[in-house]
Amino acid sequence: MSSYTQEKAVAIDAVLRASRVCQNVFNKLVSSETITKKDKSPVTIADYSAQAVVNTVLAKAFPNDPIVGEEDSKDLHGDAAANMREKIEELANSVLEESQTITQLLAAIDRGCYAGGSTGRHWTLDPIDGTKGFLRGEQFAVCLALIVDGQVRLGVMGCPNLPIDAKNPSGAKGCLFVAVEGEGAFQRPFDGQELQPIKMSTVNTTADSSFCESVESEHSSHSDAAQIAQLLNITKPPVRMDSQCKYCSISRGDADIYLRLPTRADYEEKIWDHASGNLLVQEAGGKVTDISGKPLDFSLGRTLKANKGVVASSASIHAEVLAAVQKVLAKN
């Protein structure tokens, strides 16, 4: 008997609609000639529209479930934001089944203000992760997870620009990833129906493995990663991409190791940045801890306050990877 069947179906529907809204924003606002490259407002519009869409879909199916979302509507009130409200209303309604007023959409966005915690059930949403990848037309992700009593039970990620087959990077794009606790990890094309099981690759030694790392080095230091790679005798070039698509990429064996090294001592990772990826990697046969080897603790509110950084890899090499991470971080 599969658990969370209805939640899974609703989350897939929500993530696919939100992915479509992001693609619509990109096609309308980013790829058009009318805005300059530095204009970040399309990201903002996509963020709000995607959160409004996901929260509207969730609220209809599960009216009592609170949501920990990245955005709130406080910057969307007042005359200065009128233009933005108009765009959000048009875009969100372009993918929703029942048309919503802007007042309803703002209320939906604010369903994301829940504080999280260790009891009961709540969702966590990153409406668009990887904003730079989004603006470049490269990798970004819509990430949604269900947390029950502090544990991630269901994770769904939409990666609109990720090639369905990593070996054919110019082929069809748009992948949906799904994991249910204890039931495995799966992928399907956006326009396909069948979920196919995915697995981390089975590498026996770190020398045969490769990193998946950020395009932007500010998220996680490339020079530390290079030293770690050296300690692990890794010679394969890293696979570089923005966003939590990195979790998806290693889950299906395109690369083996994803590190998020702490860049500031006081930074607390957000639960919506890691909940679905954490479950996906574990269900694909991998292991995820922080840099001290502790599992990620999603029960402490909106952030992973008890953890520093993330080390995700095939289970068979995790101990060696962790040891190399600790050695390099202790030195630098």
Ligand X SMILES: *[C@@H]1O[C@H](CO)[C@@H](O)[C@H](O)[C@H]1NC(C)=O
What is the nearest approach in angstroms of ligand X to the Cβ of residue 207?
6
- Exactly one of 82, 172, 207, 319 binds ligand X (CB under 6 A); that residue is 207
Question: Are the CB atoms for 165 and 151 separated by under 8 Å?
Answer: no
Question: Are the CB atoms for 324 and 228 separated by under 8 Å?
Answer: yes
Question: Are the CB atoms for 70 and 51 separated by under 8 Å?
Answer: yes
Is 131 labeled as catalytic in the residue annotation? yes
Summarize the annotated binding site for Mg(2+) as residue ranges: 70, 126, 128-129, 273
**Contact region with ligand X (CB under 6 A), list: 95-103, 146-154, 205-213, 248-256:** 205-213
The dihedral through the CA atoms of 277, 278, 279, 283 has a sign that is: positive
- Closer by beta carbon to ligand X, 172 or else 207: 207
- Closer by beta carbon to ligand X, 106 or else 257: 257
**Contact region with ligand X (CB under 6 A), list: 9-17, 124-132, 198-206, 213-221:** 198-206
- Exactly one of 5, 83, 101, 204 binds ligand X (CB under 6 A); that residue is 204
Phi, psi of 277 (to 5 degrees): -65, -40
Question: Are the CB atoms for 185 and 251 separated by under 8 Å?
Answer: yes
Kindly state the DSSP code that residue 27 receives in the 8-state scheme: I
- Closer by beta carbon to ligand X, 14 or else 317: 317
- Closer by beta carbon to ligand X, 118 or else 204: 204
- Closer by beta carbon to ligand X, 31 or else 204: 204
What is the nearest approach in angstroms of ligand X to the Cβ of residue 230?
9
Helix 41-61 and helix 82-93: axis angle, to 10°? 50
* Of 72, 131, 208, 297, catalytic: 131
Is 191 labeled as catalytic in the residue annotation? no
Helix intervals (H) in the chain: 5-25, 41-61, 82-93, 102-110, 131-136, 222-231, 245-251, 275-283, 318-331
Residue whose structure tokens are 């979920």:
195
- Exactly one of 65, 90, 181, 320 binds ligand X (CB under 6 A); that residue is 320
User: For residues 56 and 62, what is the distance between their CA atoms, to the nearest angstrom?
Assistant: 10
What is the nearest approach in angstroms of ligand X to the Cβ of residue 323?
8
User: For residues 171 and 162, what is the distance between their CA atoms, to the nearest angstrom?
Assistant: 10
List binders of ligand X among 223-242 (CB under 6 A): 232-233
Question: Are the CB atoms for 51 and 129 separated by under 8 Å?
Answer: no
Active site residues: 47, 131
Where on the chain is the footprint of ligand X (CB under 6 A)?
A: 204-207, 232-233, 320
